[in-house]
Amino acid sequence: MNWDTEDFTERAPSLDRDGRAAYRIVSNGLDVSTAVIEAVTEVADCDRLADECILYDVVDPDALNRLFENRSGGTAGATGRIVFELNRCRVEVRADGNHVVYEPDNSGDSSASTAQSA
């Protein structure tokens, strides 16, 4: 796979918030955790192997995949999301499959990363 020519995000201006541009994550058949990593590195313009892009430091990638994997039999009405910061980007992984990454927050210190669920 040629990582340099594949887009993992598409701009979503209607989802912008707090002065940060929003991008829908395009999975391209990848599991959720891999799609998130690729999207963050694309939006933040960083190396996916860099220390600040280690998803496991914020959330367990296997658990994220299990929570949001495609289920046969349909999951209509599924709700919930997990929100966390990765490399100064706000990431929202949603049960409906409309995952979003927001451009990096450059307003202050970003050494602390947090995760929350809703």
pLDDT, position 74 = 52
Q: How many CA atoms lie within 13 A of 44 on its CB side?
A: 25
Q: What is the DSSP letter of 9?
A: E
Q: How confident is the model at residue 6 (pLDDT cuts 50, 70, 90)?
A: low
Q: Which of 7-16, 33-42, 74-83, 89-98 has the lowest mean pLDDT?
A: 74-83
For residue 35, the Cα-to-chain-centroid distance in whole angstroms is 7
- Average confidence score pLDDT of the chain: 81
Q: Do the Cβ atoms of 23 and 100 come closer than 8 Å?
A: yes
Is pLDDT of 36 > 70? yes
For residue range 71-115, list pLDDT tens digits in order.
545 555 567 899 999 999 999 999 888 999 999 988 765 444 455
**pLDDT value at residue 100:** 96
For the chain, which residues make up each domain, given as ranges?
A: 9-117
Query: CA 102 → CA 11, 28, 39, 54, distances in Å?
Result: 10, 19, 10, 17
